[in-house]
């Protein structure tokens, strides 16, 4: 009677415990499974008691467990027992989840029993991941903000300084013209001097002012485009990159023909996870650059390839253009950074946008290049699983 009473009391304690408590014998067979374990794994105790504890584990742990337990029983070497660690559990419905597991060992009447205490930590893991994502987004935002401050203080200032200087010049030239006009005692020949002031000084100052204003306008609209990009909604889904590149290459047909370029896309380019619209923009920018920064002495050849490497699918856009010196290879991704501002049209925003999109799609981009030979831009994106 006392024994039965004790057993009942013990069962009540086990069943009200918050943690899952499972006991197994030396062979790994379960002989008790409390209420919390039922809730965590989705099995009723009656379904699993008598079965090997392996059913609660996904592969590869499932296959290794016998060896594990046997090894311990034989050698006494501990890997989990008395230590506790984070492992992966498998519910009745086949889903897997992270859990904390601590195992202790007791000897009851010469028999060895292992008690496993488990706690489902999916929620904690999720919040940890959310926190990591948040920290990453914050770091990105911070970097963007720094870039904007830099641009506002350097790039936007230099056209302003020009506008200021040449406005003063213009004022002086106008004052001088007025002076000449107002001085009735001056002879007719002075009109020639006036003409010279108007056609040289005034017109030169005006064109510098106009250039400065155009430059500022393009910097400001670039900044606006960049800041909009951070807010644009993205939809991550499997993207058929082969089809996407057909569209991109077609839309660049004019530039390709004009440059006498050959663009080849590898057959059966792998798909990836991403946003169709944003990826279209990324590849348009990369191919457009490969066409723009061509080598003067040869026709551009651009090759696009892709390769699945586990979790990542890595695409490459390779050109035989001017190439980029090692010291500039990081800088070209910075906002408004251009290596030869007067050589080609552009605002130095394309690669900044490409990098920003890559980050938003949980990917990364980098360049490998040799001056005079060409460049390979590589873009890693999550693989389709």
* Residue placing its CB nearer to ligand ADP in the complex, 48 or 223: 223
Nearer to ligand ADP, 30 or 324 (CB): 324
Q: Are 49 and 32 in contact (CB under 8 A)?
A: yes
Which of 197, 241, 332, 365 is the binder for ligand ADP (CB under 6 A)? 332
**Of the residues 23, 289, 313, 320, which one makes contact with ligand ADP according to CB under 6 A:** 289
* Given 350, 363, 365, 381, the residue binding ligand ADP (CB under 6 A): 350
Selected from 352, 356, 365, 379, the binder of ligand ADP by CB under 6 A is: 352
Regarding 324 and contact with ligand ADP (CB under 6 A), the answer is yes
Asked whether position 319 contacts ligand ADP by CB under 6 A, the answer is yes
Q: Does 322 bind ligand ADP (CB under 6 A)?
A: yes
Q: Contact region for ligand ADP (CB under 6 A) — 30-38, 67-75, 268-276, 348-356?
A: 348-356
Is 348 a binding residue for ligand ADP by CB under 6 A? The answer is yes
User: Interacting stretch for ligand ADP, rule CB under 6 A, among 24-32, 101-109, 257-265, 338-346?
Assistant: 338-346
Q: Is 222 in the site for ligand ADP (CB under 6 A)?
A: no
Q: How many residues contact ligand ADP, by CB under 6 A?
A: 21
351 binds ligand ADP, rule: CB under 6 A:
yes
| Interface positions with ligand ADP (CB under 6 A) | 285, 289-290, 293, 319, 321-322, 324, 332, 337-340, 346-352, 375
């Amino acid at each position: 009677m006392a024994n039965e009473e004790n057993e009942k009391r013990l069962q009540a304690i086990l069943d009200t415990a918050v943690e899952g408590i499972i006991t197994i014998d030396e062979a790994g067979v379960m002989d008790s499974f409390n209420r919390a374990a039922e809730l965590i794994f989705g099995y009723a105790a009656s379904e699993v008691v008598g079965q090997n504890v392996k059913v609660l584990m996904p592969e590869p742990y499932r296959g290794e467990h016998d060896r594990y337990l046997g090894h311990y029983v034989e050698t006494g070497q501990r890997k989990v027992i008395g230590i506790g660690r984070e492992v992966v559990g498998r519910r009745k419905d086949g889903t897997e989840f992270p859990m904390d597991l601590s195992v202790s060992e007791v000897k009851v009447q010469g028999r060895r029993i292992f008690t496993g205490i488990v706690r489902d930590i999916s929620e904690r893991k999720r919040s940890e991941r959310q926190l990591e994502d948040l920290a990453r987004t914050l770091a990105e935002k911070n970097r963007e903000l720094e870039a904007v401050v830099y641009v506002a203080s350097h790039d936007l200032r230099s056209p302003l300084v020009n506008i200021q200087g040449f406005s003063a010049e213009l004022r002086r030239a106008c004052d001088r013209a007025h002076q000449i006009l107002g001085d009735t005692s001056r002879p007719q020949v002075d009109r020639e001097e006036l003409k010279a002031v108007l056609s040289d000084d005034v017109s030169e100052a005006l064109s510098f002012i106009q250039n400065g204003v155009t430059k500022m306008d393009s910097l400001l609209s670039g900044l606006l485009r960049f800041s909009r990009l951070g807010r644009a909604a993205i939809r991550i889904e499997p993207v058929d990159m082969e089809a996407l590149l057909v569209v991109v290459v077609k839309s660049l047909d004019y530039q390709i023909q004009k440059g006498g370029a050959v663009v080849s896309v590898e057959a059966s380019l792998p798909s990836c996870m991403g946003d169709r619209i944003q990826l279209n923009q990324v590849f348009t920018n990369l191919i457009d650059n490969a066409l723009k920064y061509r080598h003067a002495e040869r026709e551009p050849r651009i090759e696009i390839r892709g390769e699945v490497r586990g979790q990542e699918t890595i695409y490459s856009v390779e050109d035989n253009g001017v190439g980029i010196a090692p010291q500039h290879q990081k800088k070209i991704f910075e906002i408004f950074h251009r290596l030869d501002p007067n050589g080609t049209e552009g605002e130095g925003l394309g690669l900044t946008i490409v990098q920003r999109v890559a980050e938003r799609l949980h990917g990364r981009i980098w360049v490998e290049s040799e001056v005079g030979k060409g460049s390979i831009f590589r873009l890693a994106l999550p693989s389709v699983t």
